[in-house]
């Protein structure tokens, strides 16, 4: 028998706690769980004990799931949010959450829970030092559909036939990792390593050590000499994810690597020649950061080939083809259908989490399906492309009762500050206690 999965459940809602307990007992899941109701308690438990996975509700008495993420433990965090808060979920994923669950009525999300937990634990057990894409992912193809993606694919082919640096940008979940890996697999370097490092996942000094390596004694804890991943990717591809977040002084060191094709380990006198193709990715508008948080010279070095992946909402025509591709990969022999109205709803939705979100929703729809007809649209947020951003204020001609206006404004502000109660109250200029009362009143908490 394998060891039970140790879960820390951070949940302050008694109904949800009970539902969880009942579900785990009812399904006889191999979970060993601890329940806490606040960020402070969670922090204490994490310091004291060891867990395989943290499941945290989004809104907590003394903060939000973002405060849990800010603890930067290396335990995967799954956040749960209410229906309609998909955007928070997407933002949480960007902030480092491993996955999310949308709490619907009747606790149907519990059915998905074991799958999500298993996936998270699997990842936790994987080598975290740098993530080499798992083999089963390397068989993925890029679905191009009918639109803007064909330009992307042309550039992929061009990139694969040379070894110049490539800079990929696109919103979260548009396939930047997939494209980077595809370039590598189509290039002459395919039999050499493809290594990737996420420039936001680690503190600055660790990224530096990971990238460039170090000599024994270079800093406290450097017990032995270690190669950095720039060296380890020799002859292959180094994927620098979220390059836009790379601290400035590392940017200049990276520029040296690109210009000199040499790397100096921390604490070393010597330089080692390196031959590695660099692919960088960003989901911020990096052109806007040039000269401020991003070095201009590095930008030009990296963007010899520039690939911009359109968001899914800009290519909703690709959705049917993406659905058949993604479903073929997940359904495991069962036959499923998507009716025309279902497909229409999928095409109208605005997909803040792009293809990743589509994939998640389809996976979940498959788990929840009782017959051949899938109903993924039931798992979507209330938003659709026509609604525009959720935090938009009504246009001036629409006159709303003040209270409704206040509610919308507070909701928008609360989302803008990622559900940070203290910060939102401060920005709105209201006392914390008043703000908390309003949240309750408007059912936001
Ligand atoms: N065109 C596509 N065809 C098939 N699958 C795709 C496509 N685009 C994305 N995917 C799938 O969607 C998921 C998300 O893609 P990926 O991780 O590459 O996104 P990303 O842009 O790197 O996101 P992030 O900015 O959050 O890191 C992956 O499972 C990927 O395989
Ligand atoms: Mg990525």
Q: Which of 65, 96, 125 finishes a domain?
A: 125
Predicted pLDDT of residue 134: 34
| Residue closest by Cα to atom 10 of ligand 1 | 175
Atom of ligand 1 nearest to the CA of 142: 3
Q: Are residues 160 and 277 in the same domain?
A: yes
Q: Where are the beta strands (DSSP E) in 120-263?
A: 166-169, 194-198, 213-214, 226-227, 237-241, 262-263
User: Cβ-count burial of 341 within 10 angstroms (0-12 exposed, 13-18 middle, 19+ buried)?
Assistant: exposed
Name every residue whose Cβ is closer than 8 Å to that of residue 230 and which is 6 or more positions away in sequence: 211, 212, 213, 238, 257, 263, 274, 276
**In a mutational test of the pocket of ligand 1, which residue from 174, 198, 313, 363 has the highest number of ligand atoms less than 8 Å from its CB?**
174
276 lines ligand 1 (CB under 6 A): no
Substitution site in 355, 362, 363 for ligand 1 pocket (most atoms within 8 Å of beta carbon): 355
Residue nearest to atom 12 of ligand 1 (CA): 356
CA distances from 156 to 35, 144, 185 (A): 47, 12, 11
Cβ(304) – ligand 1 distance below 6 Å = no
Whether 63 maps to a domain, the answer reads yes
211 and 284 housed in the same domain: yes
User: In terms of C-beta distances under 8 Å and separation of at least 24 residues, what long-range contacts does 58-61 make, across chains too?
Assistant: 58/82, 58/85, 58/88, 58/89, 58/92, 58/419, 59/12, 59/419, 59/444, 59/445, 60/10, 60/12, 61/12, 61/37
Which atom of ligand 1 lies closest to the CA of 94?
A: 26
Q: Helices 319-330 and 354-368: crossing angle, nearest 10°?
A: 50
Residue 357 C-alpha to ligand 1 middle, in angstroms? 9
Q: Is the CB of 173 under 6 A from ligand 1?
A: yes
Assess whether the C-beta atom of 170 lies below 6 angstroms from ligand 1.
Answer: yes
Residues β-bridged to residue 32: 6
Ligand 1 pocket, 178 CB below 6 A?
yes
Give yes or no: residues 156 and 300 share one domain.
Answer: yes
Residue 98 CA to residue 117 CA, distance in Å, equals 10
Distance in angstroms (rounded) separating the CA atoms of residues 436 and 239: 44
Specify the CATH number for the domain of residue 433: 1.10.10
- Residue-level pLDDT, tens digit, the chain, 445 residues: 578 899 999 999 888 898 899 889 888 889 999 999 999 999 999 888 789 999 999 988 899 999 998 887 778 899 998 877 778 888 888 788 888 888 876 777 788 888 888 888 876 665 443 333 333 344 567 777 766 788 898 899 999 999 999 999 999 999 999 999 999 999 999 989 999 998 887 778 888 898 999 999 888 888 888 899 999 999 999 999 999 989 998 999 999 999 999 999 999 999 999 999 999 999 988 999 999 999 999 999 999 999 999 999 999 999 999 998 898 888 666 788 999 999 999 999 999 999 999 998 998 888 888 888 999 988 886 554 444 443 334 334 456 666 777 777 777 777 777 778 887 887 777 778 778 888 887 777 6
In Å, the largest CA–CA distance within the chain is 70
Q: At what angle do helices 176-186 and 149-160 cross, to 10 degrees?
A: 40
Residue 119 shares a structural domain with residue 163 = no
How close are the terminal C-alpha atoms of the chain, in Å? Answer: 41
154 plus 75 within the same structural domain: no
CA distances from 334 to 215, 329, 343, 362 (A): 54, 11, 19, 14
172 lines ligand 1 (CB under 6 A): yes
Distance from C-alpha of 367 to C-alpha of 380, rounded to nearest angstrom: 15
Residues 198 and 295 grouped into a single domain: yes
Span from the CA of 239 to the centroid of ligand 2 (angstroms)? 10
- What is residue 16's DSSP assignment? H
162 part of a folded domain: yes
Segments in 214-285 forming alpha helices (H): 229-232, 248-260
Ligand 2 geometric centre to CA of 344 (Å):
28
Residues 280 and 146 in one domain: yes
Which ligand has the nearest atom to the CA of 173?
1
For the CA of 93, the nearest atom of ligand 1:
26
Residues 259, 139 within the same domain: yes
**Residue 29 CA from chain centroid, whole number:** 27
Q: Is residue 397 part of a domain?
A: no
**pLDDT at res. 436:** 82
Q: Pick from 308, 332, 366: which residue ends a domain? A: 308
Structural domain tally of the chain? 4
Q: Whose CA is nearest to atom 29 of ligand 1?
A: 356
Ligand (nearest to CA of 351)? 1
What's the CATH number where 274 sits?
3.40.50.300
Number of Cβ atoms within 10 Å of the Cβ of 174? 27
Question: Are 142 and 170 found together in one domain?
Answer: yes
395 is a domain residue? no
Q: Report the C-alpha gap between 375 and 16 in whole angstroms.
A: 25
Let me know if residue 394 belongs to a domain.
no
**Could you give the CA distance from residue 134 to residue 293 in angstroms, rounded to a whole number?**
32
Whether residue 45 is contained in a domain is answered as yes
* Range of the structural domain that residue 379 is part of: 312-387
- Residue 52 sits at φ, ψ, to 5 deg, of -90, -30
Residues 339 and 435 in one domain: no
For the stretch 420-427, contacts whose Cβ atoms lie closer than 8 Å and that sit 24 or more positions apart, written own/partner, are 420/63, 420/64, 420/66, 421/63, 421/64
Residue 392 in domain: no
| Shortest-distance atom of ligand 1 to CA 172 | 25
Does residue 142 have its Cβ closer than 6 Å to ligand 1? yes
Are 391 and 412 within 8 A, CB to CB?
yes
**Domain membership flag for residue 130:** no
Residue 415: per-residue pLDDT: 74
Give the three-class secondary structure for 273. strand
- Domain's final residue, options 274, 308, 342: 308
Q: Tell me, yes or no, whether 139 and 284 share the same domain.
A: yes
Q: Using alpha carbons only, how large is the chain's radius of gyration in Å?
A: 23
The answer to whether the CB of 143 is under 6 A from ligand 1 is yes
Positions of E strands within 97-142: 99-103
Please report where in the chains the tokens 């590095």 appear, as a residue: 298
Q: Are residues 152 and 238 in the same domain?
A: yes
- In this structure, are residues 313 and 350 in contact, taking their beta carbons and an 8 Å threshold? yes
Residue identified by tokens 């499923």 is: 336
CATH number, position 353: 1.10.8.60
CB of 258 closer than 6 A to ligand 1? no
Distance (Å, rounded) from C-alpha 389 to C-alpha 43?
34
């Amino acid at each position: 028998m394998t060891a039970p999965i140790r879960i820390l459940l951070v949940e302050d809602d008694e109904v949800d706690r009970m539902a969880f307990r009942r579900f785990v007992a009812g399904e006889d899941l191999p979970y060993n769980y601890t329940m806490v109701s606040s960020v402070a308690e969670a922090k204490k438990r994490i310091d004291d004990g060891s867990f395989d996975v943290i499941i945290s509700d989004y809104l907590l008495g003394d903060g939000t799931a973002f405060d849990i993420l800010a603890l930067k433990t290396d335990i995967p965090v799954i956040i749960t949010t209410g229906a309609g808060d998909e955007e928070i979920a997407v933002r949480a994923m960007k902030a480092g959450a491993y996955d999310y669950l949308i709490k619907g009525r009747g606790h149907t999300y519990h059915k998905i829970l074991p799958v999500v937990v298993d996936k998270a634990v699997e990842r936790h057990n994987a080598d975290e030092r740098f993530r080499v894409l798992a083999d089963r992912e390397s068989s993925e193809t890029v679905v191009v559909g009918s639109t803007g993606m064909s330009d992307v694919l042309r550039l992929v082919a061009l990139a694969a036939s040379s070894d110049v640096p490539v800079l990929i940008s696109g919103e979260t979940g548009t396939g930047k990792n997939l494209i980077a890996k595809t370039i590598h697999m189509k290039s002459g370097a395919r039999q050499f390593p493809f290594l990737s490092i996420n420039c936001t996942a680690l503190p600055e000094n660790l990224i530096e050590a990971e990238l460039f390596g170090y000599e024994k004694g270079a800093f406290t804890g450097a017990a032995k000499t270690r190669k950095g991943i720039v060296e380890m990717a020799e002859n292959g591809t180094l994927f620098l994810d979220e390059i836009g977040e790379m601290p400035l002084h590392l940017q200049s060191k990276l520029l040296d690597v690109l210009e000199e094709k040499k790397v100096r380990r921390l604490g070393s006198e010597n330089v080692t020649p390196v031959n590695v193709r660099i692919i960088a990715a960003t989901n911020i508008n990096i052109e806007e950061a040039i000269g401020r948080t991003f070095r201009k010279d590095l930008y030009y070095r990296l963007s010899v080939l520039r690939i911009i992946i359109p968001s899914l909402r800009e290519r909703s025509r690709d959705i049917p083809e993406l659905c058949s591709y993604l479903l073929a990969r997940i359904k495991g022999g069962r036959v499923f259908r998507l009716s025309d109205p279902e497909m229409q709803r999928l095409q109208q939705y605005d997909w803040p989490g792009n293809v990743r979100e589509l994939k998640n929703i389809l996976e979940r729809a498959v788990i929840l399906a009782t017959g051949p007809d899938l109903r993924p649209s039931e798992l979507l947020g209330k938003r659709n492309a026509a609604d525009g951003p959720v935090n938009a204020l009504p246009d001036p001609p629409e006159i709303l009762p003040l209270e409704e206006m206040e509610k919308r404004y507070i909701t928008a502000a609360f989302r803008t500050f990622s559900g940070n109660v203290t910060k939102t109250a401060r920005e709105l200029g209201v006392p914390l206690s008043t703000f908390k009362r309003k949240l309750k009143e408007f059912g936001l908490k």
